[in-house]
């Protein structure tokens, strides 16, 4: 049993190490606001709408590089926002499949809780889908997880043991219940944001 636990622990540590370069700080007016996840190597970041508030935003990457960020799209109903920075060859996260998650499956929440940078918090899936018991008044699709999301986790990555993105950390629904937006919901939102960015660049080049 001890060897099994050691191997499992090592696997999760390796997953966290793979994902950390894809995790960013999102700073509002120079102050910490939350986390974000690199979606595309050409400077596309996904985060929560409540993290990408009004005013000047800056994205800080793992190595300390900082970039002014532009809000490409924001949906308060979904609590998702797409940010753009002028950067290339960024370490984009690998996408997973949240609809394959099952109750009891372990997941890892990445973020900057209470200012602790690039932290990893292990928990398990409670429920996936719409109208969850953990958040009965919420609309749309959610992942309920048995882990304590804290301020600074918002916008960060919820990952599986392979380091693949399965959700975007969003809010606390109770002392030890966190809620994340499924990656499939984020995919649809980010595809629209990327199309909008491409159209904008085409108009500027014309």
Q: Which fold has domain 2-92?
A: Thrombin, subunit H (2.40.10)
Q: Return the structure tokens found at 131.
A: 């109208």
**Does 9 participate in catalysis according to the annotation?**
no
**Does 154 participate in catalysis according to the annotation?**
yes
**Does 153 participate in catalysis according to the annotation?**
no
Query: Are domains 2-92 and 94-186 of this chain identical in fold?
Result: yes
The second-level CATH assignment, the architecture, of 94-186 is Beta Barrel (2.40)
Q: Identify the active-site residue in 22, 79, 98, 160.
A: 79
Q: Identify the active-site residue in 22, 98, 146, 154.
A: 154
Question: What is the pLDDT, as a whole number, of residue 33?
Answer: 73
Rounded Cα–Cα distance for residues 10 and 76 (Å): 37
Q: Identify the active-site residue in 40, 50, 75, 124.
A: 50
Question: What is the pLDDT, as a whole number, of residue 202?
Answer: 52
Assess whether pLDDT exceeds 80 at residue 73.
Answer: yes
Nearest partner of 174 among 127, 112, 141, 130, judged by Cα = 127
Mean pLDDT over each residue of the chain, to the nearest integer? 87
Map out the domains of the chain as residue ranges: 2-92, 94-186
Question: What is the pLDDT, as a whole number, of residue 6?
Answer: 61
The model's pLDDT over 105-115, given as tens digits with 9 standing for 90+, comes to: 999 999 999 98
Q: What angle do CA 94, 100, 106 make, to 5 degrees?
A: 75
SS3 67: strand
- Is the pTM of the predicted complex or chain greater than 0.85? yes
User: Where does the pLDDT of residue 97 fall: very low under 50, low under 70, confident under 90, or very high at 90 and above?
Assistant: very high
More confident of the two residues 148 and 203: 148
For the segment 149-158, the average pLDDT, to the nearest whole number, is 94
């Amino acid at each position: 049993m001890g060897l099994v636990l050691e191997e499992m622990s090592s696997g999760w540590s390796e997953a966290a190490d793979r994902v950390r370069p894809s995790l960013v700080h999102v700073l509002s007016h120079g102050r910490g606001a939350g986390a974000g996840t690199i979606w595309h190597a050409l400077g596309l970041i996904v985060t929560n709408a409540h993290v990408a508030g009004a005013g000047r935003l800056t994205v800080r990457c793992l190595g300390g590089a900082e970039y002014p960020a532009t809000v490409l799209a924001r949906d308060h109903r979904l609590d998702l926002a797409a940010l753009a920075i002028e950067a290339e060859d960024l370490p984009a996260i690998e996408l997973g499949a949240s609809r394959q998650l099952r109750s009891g499956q372990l997941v890892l929440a990445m973020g900057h809780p209470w200012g602790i940078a690039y932290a990893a918090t292990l928990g398990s899936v409670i429920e996936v889908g719409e109208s969850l018991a953990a958040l009965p008044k919420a609309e749309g699709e959610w992942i309920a997880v048995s882990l304590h999301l804290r301020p600074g986790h918002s916008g960060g990555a919820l990952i599986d043991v392979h380091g693949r993105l399965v959700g975007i950390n969003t809010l606390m629904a109770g002392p030890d219940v966190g809620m994340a937006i499924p990656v499939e919901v984020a995919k649809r939102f980010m595809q629209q944001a990327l199309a909008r960015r491409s159209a904008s660049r085409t108009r500027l080049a014309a």
